Every structure is written in C-alpha cells, then in structure tokens.
Amino acid sequence: MLGVFNCFPIEFISPDHANGGKVILPHTILEELQNVIDQDGKPLIFRLSAFKKECGMRSENETYCGVLDFTAEEGCCFVPKWMMFKLGLKLESDTNHLLIEKVDLERGNYVKLEPLTRDFFDNVDLKTLLEHHLKTFVALCEDDVLDVEYQGIVYNIRVNSIKPENKHRAICVNEADISVDFIEPPLPPPPPSRDEPILSNTFVPFSGIGRRLCD
C-alpha cells in the first residue's frame, strides 16, 4: 500500500488528459518505487478506491490506472472525472480521499465495450478510436464507464467484460495484443400504439360502476 491522498479532478492542472486512464501523483511515490521500476520494467499500475478517514475503511468500488507524471503536491493526486464518478467522489469537494496501491495485472487479450448511446456507431470511426484514443489507457476494469472524446464529442463507454478473467476484474492493456468487440446498447421501449389504452391517474368524475337502489 502506498497511502491515502487528497483527490482532485485532473482537469484542474491538465485538461488535455481529462478523458484518459492516467493520474498525476506526488514525486515521493516515484522515489519509493524507483527500485521496482528499474528491476522489472513493467508499466506502473495502481488500484484506486475511495477511503473514509473517519472510520479508516475503503469503499468496495475500485478502478485501475497508469500514471501520467509525478508532479502533484505532496499528499495530493489528480484523477480523471470518470474515475471519481465510479468511486463515488464529489467533484467539488475538498475532502475526497483515495487509497492508492500498486498492483500487477495480467496482460489482457480481449475486451468487450458497450457504448451507452446508440449514435456512437453512426459517428465514430472504430479503427481510429482503437488506434489513438484507447492507447491513453494502461488498464481496464469491468464496469468502468470511460469518457472517450472523438471529434469534440465525449462518449460514455462501459467495459462490459475482459479476458483473461481474474480476481481484480481488470487487465493491463499497455502494449497488449487485444481483440475488441463492441455491443450495442438496448433499444428504448417503443411508444404506445394509438390502439392501446393510455392509463392515467387523472380523476374523472362519475366514471365508476353504478347500480340502481332496487337491484
């Protein structure tokens, strides 16, 4: 475990990396991990989870990330908003705390992605998306909802599943040969037919069943 850090949106200091999969950490973490980096040469991957200092407990929600650089102030970290949303953190709060741990993830070979809007398939060149935009991610975790920008529009894409399956429910995608499938979101329910009765809660006077007193 590396420690608990105050968390802020990465847009505060690096807007160009708002939709990626990397965070900004203090220089002391680099110093702490320098020997590890020199020995194995693997990409640094960290597990993030919200931490409640008042009770000393971490949340169940977690995600995984790479590191952009080590220029954050001591005790602070900067992460993309989509990570904060998944971890249940408030964007405007100055009391967000993240537990950050270094982990090793298996190199992935498959991921299934689910865009959350149907216009994604009409507007996005999938080849360009895979070649350029997804390379900003070092790790992918099931149920992450990524912010992916394409031609000025940000699309939400959920990580539906990954392979190989593992206890972390996450894979390393850095320099990995990965097969990617896209699935379409479910169709919205059709509007009611004109022939179907429309139920209403509006009160209509004298609309009940009547009986004569002599019945």
Determine the pLDDT at residue 182.
92
Higher pLDDT, 58 or 89: 89
Q: Are residues 119 and 158 located together in one domain of the fold?
A: yes
Looking at 86, 103, 120, the residue that finishes a domain is: 103
Instruction: Give how far Cα 129 sits from Cα of 48, 104, 180, 208, Å.
Output: 25, 26, 11, 60
Residue 195 within any structural domain of the chain: no
Answer with the residue of higher pLDDT: 196 or 158: 158
Distances from the Cα of 182 to the Cαs of 41, 114, 176, 197, in angstroms?
A: 32, 6, 18, 38
Query: Does residue 10 belong to any structural domain of this protein?
Result: yes
Residue 193 has pLDDT above 50, yes or no: yes
Does residue 198 form part of some domain?
Answer: no
Examine the domain organization and report whether 125 and 145 are in the same domain. Answer: yes
Q: How far apart are CA 34 and CA 30, in angstroms?
A: 6
Q: What is the pLDDT of residues 152-169, one digit of tens each?
A: 888 999 999 999 999 999
Are both 98 and 132 inside the same structural domain? no
Does residue 107 carry a pLDDT above 90?
yes
Mean pLDDT of the 138-149 span: 93
Q: Does the residue 205 lie in any domain?
A: no
Range of the domain at 45: 3-103
Please check whether residue 174 is in contact with residue 66, taking contact to mean a CB–CB distance below 8 angstroms: yes
State how many domains the chain has: 2
Q: 9 — phi, psi (to 5°)? A: -65, 140
CATH number of the structural domain spanning residue 170:
3.10.330.10
pTM: 0.81
pLDDT at residue number 211? 44
Mean pLDDT along residues 168-189: 87
Tokens linked to 137 = 């991610």
- Same domain? 119 vs 99: no
Give domain status of residue 116, yes or no: yes
pLDDT, the chain, mean: 85
Read off the CATH number of the domain in which 93 is found: 2.40.40.50
* Cα first-last separation, the chain: 82
Which of 71, 57, 58 lies closest to 29, judged by CA? 71
Going across the sheet that includes 153-163, the strands are: 145-150, 153-163, 110-115, 179-182
Whether the link from the prior residue into 43 is cis, omega within 30° of 0, is no
Q: Same domain, yes or no, for 133 and 59? A: no
Give residue for tokens 């702490």.
32
Residue 165 falls within a domain, yes or no? yes
Which domain-ending residue is among 55, 79, 103?
103
Closest CA to 158 of 207, 215, 117: 117
Residue 47 located in a structural domain: yes
Q: Hey, what amino acid is at 56?
A: G
pLDDT tens for each residue of 44-87? 999 999 998 777 778 888 999 999 999 999 999 999 999 999 99
